[in-house]
Amino acid sequence: MHVDGEPRQAVPDGGVMQVRFDNGSVTDPAADPFAVHSEDEPRTKRAKREDIDVSFLAKPGRYEVHSASDSRYEVDVLEETCSCPDVAERCKHLRRVDIEINAERVPRPDGKLPDA
């Protein structure tokens, strides 16, 4: 069956987990930066599971996060701040930006593209 978009899988907690494929098979969880591990904190799990788009906004280290709720927030990874109303030490948006930077999916905080 043909399905448009990225395949998704329902998970017991009511969230949605992204299913990733590499050459027709599911990717190795150890190599997948969005794989959820049992030791992950709840906000980290949400940062990995939720449909969140991250784009570089400005140097140094400012990113725009478009969340699944259609809200947009500004994250500063150097100051470790987010414009969302979450008062937690590190909200899911800040965590997601860190994951995307480490996975080399967005430019580094200095604005340079990841090394190929």
> What would the pLDDT profile of 33-60 be if each residue is shown by its tens digit?
999 988 999 999 999 999 999 999 999 9
**Measured between alpha carbons, how far is 43 from 50 in angstroms, rounded to an integer?**
10
| pLDDT score of 77 more than 90 | yes
Per-domain residue ranges of the chain: 8-102
Q: Tell me which residue has tokens 């580094």.
A: 108
Looking at residue 92, its amino acid is K
